[in-house]
Amino acid sequence: MEKKKIPLLILLILYGLIGYSPYFEAVDQVGPQWLLLTIFNITALFSFLFLKDSPINEIFNAFKKPIVIALVLFAFWGLLSYTYSINPNEVIVKSSQWFNVIISIPLIYLLIKKAEINFYTISLILSFFLFVEVFVSMSQYIEIISLRNYDF
């Protein structure tokens, strides 16, 4: 494996571990996850800027695809709801989250492409993360039913 691909792989692994991030003494776990996603997006953008074969053109080309255009239009439509919203602060927060996701999609795609990860490896990694998610959910369920009789 080439040395220049190792930081890309580390960043991809960090993207995958966002769901397992600690609370950092926040009221809700989602807040630190969005913060980490923003930090990783900025890190990925800067890492792509300093690569010899910078894929910035590929990022802009990703935004020309119809599905991404529809997603961007949806996010702008949501942002326009600020004018008639009951809770404008929530509109700002949710719109920033949508734009964060819109930026994340091509960045993760380019990280996978530049790191030259094949479909089999991606499938194994996703399967591992999904297995952990199911195991955590089921272990909590089993703990609940072991403490109390659960009958229908």
Q: Could you tell me what percent of the chain has a pLDDT over 90?
A: 36
Average pLDDT over residues 100-126: 88
7-20 pLDDT, tens digit each: 888 888 899 889 88
**pLDDT at residue 25, as a whole number:** 86
Q: What is the rounded distance in angstroms from the CA atom of residue 25 to the CA atom of residue 68?
A: 35
32-41 pLDDT, tens digit each: 999 999 999 9
**pLDDT at residue 16, as a whole number:** 87
70-110 pLDDT, tens digit each: 988 999 999 999 999 999 999 999 999 999 999 998 889 88
Spatial CB neighbours of 34, under 8 Å, sequence gap ≥ 6: 97, 100
Q: What is the rounded distance in angstroms from the CA atom of residue 39 to the CA atom of residue 137?
A: 28
Q: Could you tell me what percent of the chain has a pLDDT over 70?
A: 97
Our measurement of the distance from residue 82's CA atom to the centroid of its chain's CA atoms, rounded to an integer in Å, reads 25
pTM for the structure as a whole: 0.80
